[in-house]
Amino acid sequence: MKMTKKGEICRLRHCKAQHKKDMKFELLHTDPKSNARAGKITTDHGVIETPIFMPVGTQGSVKAVHQRELKEDVQAQIILGNTYHLYLRPGLDVLEKAGGLHKFNGWDRPILTDSGGFQVFSLADNRKLTEEGCTFRSHIDGSKHLFTPENVVDIERTIGADIIMALDECTPGTADFQYAKRSLDRTNRWLDRGLKHFAETDPKYGYSQAYFPIVQGCTYPELRRQSAEFVASKDCEGNAIGGLAVGEPTDVMYEMIEVVNEILPKDKPRYLMGVGTPINLLEAIERGVDMFDCVMPTRNGRNGMLFTSQGIMNMKNAKWKDDFSPVDPNGTAWADHFYTKAYLRHLFIADELLAMQIASIHNLAFYLWLVKEARKHIIDGDFSTWKPRMVAQISQRL
């Protein structure tokens, strides 16, 4: 039977409503002197207490960290997977046969996947943008592929994350206004197509998936407002802020967050993509952001940079050679109870793989400790006095 246009619209709305009721967000507390929030996201794979930092598991694995360590030592509540990388390797056939990424990598808590847009657009010389989508060549073997708003939904359905992202174009922080405007208009058109396809399809593995649009607009307040209004009008389960920490000054990033969060609905989680340093997290939390991800804690950790409650340490420095005190005297991470600065420095100098593992676990655990502390102070009502003290403390070079 052929469905009328009106009937099709009703069906899509009904389908959207069916998906919308699955992921829940509760706003529990707001700091009385700022926009900092404490909330709770409920998914079919578990609860996420916000504000939250999400370790990045680009290829189905958080580098140098075992899933048991993510749970017990880092205390991660949700991790990320990368659509671009997982699509290329191990590939959708393998993931579907496994029953999705949760079954494939053994992680039974929530997962978020980005759309792969950032990775595709960063290829620059190996991709071509059209209204249809983005054609690109694999960084692995040079093979040609196409991402569209529709097939990215299908790919993320197959990967099986609890939260999936819309395909967008991530413009560089230095883009001129006209380019940023054309890019945003196309991203908006892609969002409409992606939402329609999301409503027309179903999850594959018996649990619900939420679809987050992404606010773009580069560093132009006018474009950011337009984008935030367009995204907010879609009434999705949550919303993301993209295209920041891509070359623009830090104070401009904070300004864009403020502009966007004046518009994005307060009863939906707000996810700031790919940001950032511990100080970035606290500043963004103060401005009303709930969710974060970044490769910095693991990438910097593998190179010997540790973030602690006392400040930042380069573990390869000679000053730690015979320092037998804990890495962080406040015990913000599991490693602090077992390993001294001297031992960790020795491992780095000796090029031992354990150094990268310990440092990655430490940094991730510190990030999770930091957002948990922020949450505690939001609930207690003294975030605005705690935050500047913590920023001054953790920004020191030790």
Q: What are the catalytic residues?
A: 114, 293
**Is residue 126 a contact partner of residue 139, using CB atoms and an 8 Å limit?**
yes
Would you tell me the crossing angle of helices 353-380 and 278-286 to the nearest 10 degrees?
Answer: 20
Token reading at 220:
């132009």
**Nearest C-alpha neighbor of 73 from the set 366, 385, 380, 370:** 366
**Is residue 180 a contact partner of residue 129, using CB atoms and an 8 Å limit?**
no
Backbone angles phi, psi at 23, to 5 degrees: -80, 135
Would you tell me the crossing angle of helices 383-394 and 353-380 to the nearest 10 degrees?
Answer: 160
Q: What is the distance between the alpha carbons of residues 316 and 293, in angstroms, rounded to a whole number?
A: 26
Residues with Cβ within 8 Å of 40's Cβ and at least 6 positions away in sequence, in order, are 25, 26, 28, 47, 48, 49, 50
Helix or strand (DSSP H, E) at 249: none
Identity of residue 249:
P
Instruction: Name the CA dihedral angle for 101, 104, 109, 114, rounded to a multiple of 10 degrees.
Output: -20
Residues with Cβ within 8 Å of 86's Cβ and at least 6 positions away in sequence, in order, are 59, 60, 95, 101, 113, 159
**Is residue 313 a contact partner of residue 305, using CB atoms and an 8 Å limit?**
yes
**Nearest C-alpha neighbor of 171 from the set 201, 213, 215, 234:** 215
**Is residue 234 a contact partner of residue 214, using CB atoms and an 8 Å limit?**
no
Helix or strand (DSSP H, E) at 25: strand 24-30
**Is residue 165 a contact partner of residue 216, using CB atoms and an 8 Å limit?**
no
3 state DSSP class of 347: helix
